[in-house]
Amino acid sequence: MLLNEQDRSHPQPLPQAGGEVRNDWTREEIRTLFALAFTDLLFRAASVHRQHHAPDQIQLCTLLSIKTGGCPEDCGYCSQSAHADSGVKATKLMDVRSVLQMAAQAKDAGSHRFCMGAAWRNPKDKDMPAIVEMVKGVRDMGLETCMTLGMLAPAQAQTLAEAGLDYYNHNIDTSPERYGDIITTRTFEDRLDTLENVRSAGINVCCGGIVGMGETREDRIGFIHALATLPRHPESVPVNALVPVKGTVLGDMLADTPLAKIDDIEFVRTVAVARITMPMSMVRLSAGRESMSEATQALCFLAGANSIFTGDKLLTAPNAGDDKDAVLLAKLGLTPLEGEEPMRVAAE
Ligand code: SAM
Ligand code: DTB
Ligand code: SF4
């Protein structure tokens, strides 16, 4: 896309490469960042990135679905919704021992963080004792723990905090305006309420969303704006590329209109704008890497993504796999993250 004269003269003040943390971003500023020349945007994002992060280190995370399918929510992208016809079978909550075995394998494979996901609208109180055991057991192995279990009541968030949970993942997924087109069984406000409960309990927040759901750039601007203006930025921001699954609303819709697939350059732009506006957060290049070229992934790392999911499976969808990733990271000269995450260090 060619920029017009007005865009080139940068009518809005742009952030300097210092990467100061701000929570007062305007939509106009974020729009201006998106509209920068790609070279300029990447240069700014890479400059901000190295102010707070080691540019050659990538955090390796492992995902495990501890309770798959049969979810009452109707998220239009998700293979695990009971409203979808994706062929994913519903299972019960895994037993604690099996979860700990998987965590031990992840640790042996070099993972830093173990993320456990359940296809629930919200956990039931009767499930909490097993969840607490999982958190404690994984933490005892020296892995960082993350859970994503749907909506949480304040007391449940408190229970997880007392168990030592490091992170809770709860995505806003898209712009506030688009939310109702993607999910009808809950509201954007419900999402914010759980995020507040997680924060108040003192658990680190992992919150991001999905790019490539047929949204407009304005939606991507609204999505980043919502994250970057939270009272405190999420310590971790997953940026997923939609994995279109047959039998889901969005998978079927996009299968009929292949041109609706997100453009790689626009995806990288979204990562770069996330990095510039949330300079200290970990930005995770999450779902969708399996169908991304090495060059696109390399551009995402240059744009400030510094965390990935490893292994050959996400929750239900395929992932790039350890062998492919080892080759890619070696080619790029990137090594696994060793130190602490900047926002967590700053909070100590
Ligand atoms: N049930 C919990 C919830 O919704 O918060 C946790 C699990 S849910 C699968 C976690 C996140 O995975 C979603 O918020 C969404 O961002 C992402 N996700 C799910 N299906 C996806 C897909 N097909 N492609 C890309 N991302 C997806
Ligand atoms: C997130 O933002 N991405 C991960 C994690 N949080 C839980 C999940 C991706 C799921 C991809 C689709 C699937 O495996 O079913
Ligand atoms: Fe359920 Fe989470 Fe999937 Fe939505 S994204 S259907 S809440 S598992």
Residue/partner pairs of 144-148 with CB below 8 Å, 24 or more apart = 144/112, 144/113, 144/114, 145/113, 145/114, 145/116, 146/61, 146/113, 146/114, 146/115, 146/116, 146/206, 146/236, 147/115, 147/116, 147/117, 147/118, 148/115, 148/116, 148/117, 148/118, 148/206
- Cβ–ligand 1 distance for 86 under 6 Å, the answer no
Cα gap 135→347, rounded to integer Å: 21
Q: What is the pLDDT of residue 17?
A: 52
Q: Which residues pair with 114 in a beta bridge?
A: 62, 145
What is the phi-psi region of residue 214: left when phi exceeds 0, alpha when psi lies from -120 to 50, beta otherwise? left
Cα Rg of the chain, angstroms: 19
pLDDT tens figures, 222-266: 999 999 999 999 999 999 999 999 999 999 988 777 656 789 999
Q: Ligand 1 centre and the CA of 344: distance in Å?
A: 24
State the Cα–Cα distance between residues 111 and 337, nearest whole angstrom: 10
Q: Are 138 and 166 in contact (CB under 8 A)?
A: no
Rounded to two decimals, the pTM is 0.94
pLDDT of residue 343: 78
* Residues carrying an active site annotation: 71, 75, 78, 115, 146, 206, 284
Q: Is the CB of 286 under 6 A from ligand 2?
A: yes
Show the low-confidence residues of the chain (pLDDT under 70): 1-18, 258-260
Provide the token pair at 39: 């070279």
112: Cα within 13 Å, side-chain hemisphere: 17
Query: What pLDDT, on a 0 to 100 scale, did the predictor assign at position 75?
Result: 98
For ligand 2, whether the C-beta of 169 sits within 6 Å is yes
By most ligand atoms within 8 Å of CB, the mutation choice from 63, 66, 116, 148 for ligand 1 is 148
Closest by Cα among 339, 346, 330 to 279: 346
User: Which residue CA neighbors atom 11 of ligand 2 most closely?
Assistant: 287
Q: How high is the pLDDT of residue 13?
A: 47
The whole-angstrom separation of Cα 103 and Cα 140 is 11
Reference 296, options 38, 49, 62; nearest CA is 38
- Facing residues of 167 across strands? 146, 204
How many Å apart are CA 146 and CA 133, to the nearest integer?
A: 13
Per-residue pLDDT tens for 200-222?
Answer: 999 999 999 999 999 999 999 99
Q: Which ligand is nearest to the CA of 150?
A: 1
Residue 213 has what pLDDT? 94
Nearest-ligand number for the alpha carbon of 284 = 2
Q: pLDDT at position 283, please? A: 98
For residues 18 and 256, give the distance between their C-alpha atoms in angstroms, rounded to a whole number. Answer: 44
